[in-house]
Structure 1
């Protein structure tokens, strides 16, 4: 599929959205590929189109809602969006890409059967970045925090059937595990990339273990996520200058995996000179928060996020299981130290000079660690180890290797 020295190689990046952590990662790699001389195109299923470059939307709102209905009623997530995927495949044939970079193929927008059968037929080199565990389970995206290891041999009686991707009536985890195992294995030229060593180790225990697995830690744009004056944000939230601000940020704190209940418990322990700010809570949650917690709904305004990170004294990530959370990296790049439960890959980004690790669920150690940061204010430094430039270079090297060998 090499197109010769006089023509640019084409890369198609595929993800459910251009927003959020996975969307920003995809868009950064899209920009990096263009700078390296590739013809780079984004394909996405939901949300807003990217600001720059060529893009394809896979399907439309109706196909997404139909896929949601199929998931809710029959637990067949990934098997909807038939017409949308056929149209996307036709577009791929026109583009004749040299490489396809998959990110999240779950999220109600693409038919995995049609897509992976096409990839096998065309023998297109594929990079697949796994942002969670969905690719090798019969249903869920995460499982350790509920103590399930059925994915190692075959899923059944799923304990999380009513969690994302939520099914209301049917547990089809047995069938979906079999379908995924059949579809996702047997590609001639697939490289799996994991953002954390934790996830890479899980992949090596799954039915994807025969593929080469490379760890490339996520990165953030440190020219955007940087220390700024957070005074105006404190004024907006009516937080006095002398208050010690404990910050938590999540895409959705309704997901119990994000540790919302621990913030409620923490609010009972902290002194009056401390305040908790949570970004990513629902309207219902905001109404029921204690007085020493300020709740904000999720924001996609990056400049606002930077101000919020910068005004905080410590960022606390109480996730019970995560891959390599970009919220940690964003906070560190803004100069705010991070305390996180040592769960999943969340602790892999924490250095002694910029944060602390706490045993999962240990509230006393969590409180003591927060007090340690409070007493050592100014000791912790800005951490920019995970800059987008470094991780983009690693991906570009993977692209070049695969395209050269194809």
Structure 2
């Protein structure tokens, strides 16, 4: 069985596609990855990238999207109406594959025409639903909007919402695409996303399978606390990390409020903060009533693992998230997680067992959770459902079922 994973970018840090590819290979599956670009040089000939022209199209699409979305309501996150795309249906890895997995492949890499060319090959095409875009009119998370259950229009993200805005046009195009092919299948990394997908109008009647994401073997609990990014003392370390800290999905403002609550409780000398990721400004750091250690963006899994192993608790303040990889990584490193009861987070965190589930959008309860985990010395641990063996078996079962489609 030959599998190809199609992904926008291949990263050496926390990339679910590379992790799944390695898991499949280690279990005897002939797996490969086809990505637009990479930020590392792989030692695996099964990981391949495109050349200049597709990357040029991607850059043009980024510029066009930025212009189209200039006046968008940023509170609700990103909106993607892909214009440019590359036809990958003739690539050897795609032509020779038995099953094609499409992960996150927007950003000017694939568009609806690209999807159609792949589907026309007649092979099983598995879309992995990493966010809600595949079944909405263009947003990546719908927040409280449920138009995707009927027909997207009057989109809250767009500056001039109407019954005939970009969301309605894209929704109609997707509807035509999904209705034209019987060889399209879907995998949801969380039960929360699976529920949303099954309630969507676009995926009505489609095969949707829930399979959790795996965690890279590079994430492990160390025998003692790491001191790579912070000198250990008698203080407890509160951690946070995200690719883009300022992302509206990550809810950093709630973490900031929670830290201010802890500061008001007179805990300034008990805790310190460790943050990794992009876009943490000095202005924001000044609002945190604790000493802050900021690593910036970490580009490889070994460094990220060191960061988790420096922390006594990891906080994920996401307000819209599917199955945050940071939660899985932190738990695997033995660090308890505090997060809201949103998205797929409750599927990973057991309240007061391997972390704390705070009431949605309550920064005060988030603060209570941080204190609880630190004072109780709670340890992180992955649930059995996230074991590599269970995840791999689910994919093998999916392969077997697709043979008969």
> TM-score per shorter chain, which class?
0.7 to 0.9
Q: Which residue of 2 aligns with 1:73?
A: 67
Deviations 1:162-194 (A, max 9, x none): 8xxxxxxx9522211111222233322222111
Q: Cα offset for 1:221?
A: 2.8
Q: Which residue of 1 aligns with 2:196?
A: 202
2:37 alignment partner, one of 31, 38, 46: 46
Residues of 1 paired with 2:366 and 2:156: CA distance? 29
Q: Cα offset for 1:341?
A: 0.3
Q: Cα offset for 1:330?
A: 0.7
Q: Cα offset for 1:68?
A: 1.2
SS in 2 for 1:250: strand
What is the root-mean-square deviation of aligned Cα atoms in Å?
Answer: 2.5
Residues of 1 paired with 2:44 and 2:312: CA distance? 35
> TM-score, normalised on structure 1?
0.85
Residues of 1 paired with 2:12 and 2:65: CA distance? 22
SS in 2 for 1:323: coil
Q: Which residue of 2 aligns with 1:91?
A: 91
- 1:251 matched to 2:243? The reply is yes
Q: Cα offset for 1:384?
A: 5.4
Larger mean CA deviation between 203-212 and 221-230 belongs to 221-230
| Aligned residues of 1:138 and 1:177 also touching (Cα < 8 A) | yes
Deviations 1:135-183 (A, max 9, x none): 1111210111xx2222222223322248xxxxxxx95222111112222
Within 5 A, what are the aligned runs for 1:77-226?
A: 77-81=81-85, 85-86=86-87, 88-92=88-92, 95-113=95-113, 115-144=114-143, 147-161=144-158, 172-206=166-200, 207-222=202-217, 224-226=219-221
Q: Which residue of 2 aligns with 1:304?
A: 303
- 1:322 matched to 2:332? The reply is no
SS in 2 for 1:396: helix
Q: Which residue of 2 aligns with 1:387?
A: 387
Q: 1:269 to 1:240 in 2, by over 3 A?
A: farther
User: Which residues of structure 1 form unaligned runs of 5+?
Assistant: 1-8, 163-169
1:278 alignment partner, one of 260, 270, 275: 275
Deviations 1:2-23 (A, max 9, x none): xxxxxxx3221111111277x7
Q: Cα offset for 1:311?
A: 1.4
Q: Which residue of 2 aligns with 1:28?
A: 19
SS in 1 for 2:206: coil
Q: Cα offset for 1:398?
A: 1.3
SS in 2 for 1:77: coil
Deviations 1:71-107 (A, max 9, x none): 23346732302xxx23x22215983321101111322
Residues of 1 paired with 2:93 and 2:374: CA distance? 57
Residues of 1 paired with 2:148 and 2:282: CA distance? 33
Q: Cα offset for 1:202?
A: 0.6
Residues of 1 paired with 2:301 and 2:283: CA distance? 22
Deviations 1:114-137 (A, max 9, x none): x23223322111221101100111
Deviations 1:338-366 (A, max 9, x none): 11100111121112421111111112222
| Runs of 4+ that moved beyond 4 A | 285-288
| Aligned residues of 2:20 and 2:213 also touching (Cα < 8 A) | no
| Aligned residues of 2:255 and 2:366 also touching (Cα < 8 A) | no
Q: 1:98 to 1:231 in 2, by over 3 A?
A: closer
| Aligned residues of 1:46 and 1:109 also touching (Cα < 8 A) | no
1:55 alignment partner, one of 39, 47, 65: 47
SS in 2 for 1:294: strand
